[in-house]
Amino acid sequence: MGITILAIESSCDETAASICRDGKILSNIIATQKVHEKYGGVVPELASRAHMQHIVPVVDQCLVEAGVVLKDLDAIAFTQAPGLIGALLVGAQFARSVALALGKPLITVHHMQAHVLANLIEEPSPKFPFLCLTVSGGHTQIVLCESPVKLTVIGETIDDAAGEAFDKSAKILGLPYPGGPLIDRYANLGNPKAFIFPEPKIPALDFSFSGLKTAILYFLQEQMKANPHFIEERLNDICASIQHRIITILLNKLKKAAIETGIHEICLAGGVSANSGLRKAFTEAGKKYQWNTYFPSIEFCTDNAAMIAITAYYKYRAGDFAADDATPTAKAGW
């Protein structure tokens, strides 16, 4: 019948489950927690409680949609790190219980590796070795991928992540959390060259976004002194200019990484790779520099369990199983 894996993702504010058979995703279910919206960010304790409410119905639906019953499973996978510890614990305990009850092996998955390998879910997929720019709410990394189980971070942010740059800018503009998708929407209606924000000079392949956030804050404070309606009147242009600068920071480093490694197979991954401006600019850069470019469908860019399942499939094939009592950790390298 092939290798059938149930994967659970619960690192932040999505409770998700997916079934994968031989590298093919049979189902991919996500329950997004609405409870955080009014707080302007994810509240860890509320996230843990919502995971406990959602996990059984999400896994049930995931099995039904895949046409799979528990005894068909060959392994159970869960996100081990990084993430909110209480949230991770819910997924980990659930996965451990299922594995124990079925007598099947456990596989632990690193959330950021899974974002990268989301590029292997659909065809055409990148050929190894490839580079991946992973941009999410908590991380910004350039990853060198030599095989599904040999991934190396060759550049990363020294402060805020790209997703934080979007979300914090949105907050300054008075937009609700998470602001990234809203900036994307308004940016499509604005002029990306209307306002010029600074590009930080960071060595090697690393990134920095905290200076940009401060520059945006000071710029808006100045403008609002002269015109208290500045933000509402120029929202589209402000969003387009912020997005443009975040994209140029990201793509300039990616270009540097491609030159240094000589690799032309290049992917995007993570929640921010859902950004329409980034996808467009990345595709254009690919044409300009003769890269073969790839990015996952939107549903596999933002947090999901299909990416955990595909990563677990490759770990299964490599014989990389976890101990029965594997525990999650909030922070972890790989």
Q: Which of 19, 120, 303, 310 binds ligand KG4 (CB under 6 A)?
A: 303
Is residue 32 classed as helix, strand or coil in its secondary structure? strand
How far from each other are the two terminal CA atoms of the chain, in whole angstroms?
A: 32
Do residues 202 and 212 lie in contact, with contact meaning Cβ atoms separated by under 8 Å?
Answer: no
- By a kind-dependent CB cut-off of 5 to 8 A, residue 160 interacts, out of ligand KG4, Zn ion, none, with none
- Dihedral angle, C-alpha 92, 93, 96, 97, nearest 10 °: -150
Q: Map residue 79 onto helix, strand or coil.
A: strand
166 makes contact with ligand KG4 (CB under 6 A): yes
Q: Determine the interface stretch with Zn ion among 143-151, 167-175, 178-186, 301-309 (rule: CB under 5 A).
A: 301-309
Taking CB under 6 A as the binding criterion, the range among 46-54, 62-70, 117-125, 136-144 that sits at the site for ligand KG4 is 136-144
Contacts of ligand KG4 in 60-119 (CB under 6 A): none
Binding to Zn ion (CB under 5 A): which residues in 128-167? 136
CB nearer ligand KG4, residue 137 or residue 155 = 137
Interacting residues with Zn ion between 111 and 130 (CB under 5 A): none
Candidates 105, 138, 148, 155; binder of ligand KG4 (CB under 6 A) is 138
Give the residue among 269, 266, 273 at the shortest CA–CA distance from 166: 273
* Eight-state DSSP code of residue 200: P
Number of residues in contact with ligand KG4 under rule CB under 6 A: 18
The least distance separating ligand KG4 from the CB of residue 289, rounded to whole angstroms, comes to 23
> Any residues with CB less than 8 A from the CB of 133 and at least 6 apart, and which?
141, 142, 250, 253, 254, 266, 267, 268, 269, 273, 282
Q: Between vectors from CA 269 to CA 176 and to CA 266, what angle results, nearest 5°?
A: 140
Q: Which residues bind Zn ion (CB under 5 A)?
A: 136, 303
Q: Which residues bind ligand KG4 (CB under 6 A)?
A: 12, 136-138, 163, 166-167, 178, 180-181, 184, 270-272, 274-275, 302-303
